Structure 1
């Protein structure tokens, strides 16, 4: 258990980071997630709102990536 715990934790954190990115795509196809608000705004051609939503998604992904990199670095 002590040998696999750091690797398992690191992979779990990495998968969580991937799930944040995938939530945007899942929302775009209408199944819920971060991108669910993005699809109607694109359909309405509300580019100002689309840019704000995309900016929020990019900030969330960058913040998540930064946090997970810190955690993974501390574990391994």
Structure 2
């Protein structure tokens, strides 16, 4: 009976070692995927921010042009 318990323990330890080895193989890959997704999110946020800045810049230029046009019209009166 003690031999059966010893064999069961050996198999359990072997199985645990296999799972630990598998985790050691998988965790770096999962970490790389996480880092890539995080970088893609940063790129997306930067692109959204630059798009927002471009839109604001466009409207600021339009407002400046309209104001300068109005100032010219007022001066000509």
| Range into which the TM-score falls when normalised by the shorter chain | 0.3 to 0.5
When Rg is computed on C-alpha atoms for both structures, the one with the higher figure is 2
TM-score normalised according to structure 2 size: 0.39
TM-score normalised according to structure 1 size: 0.40
- Larger helix percent: 2
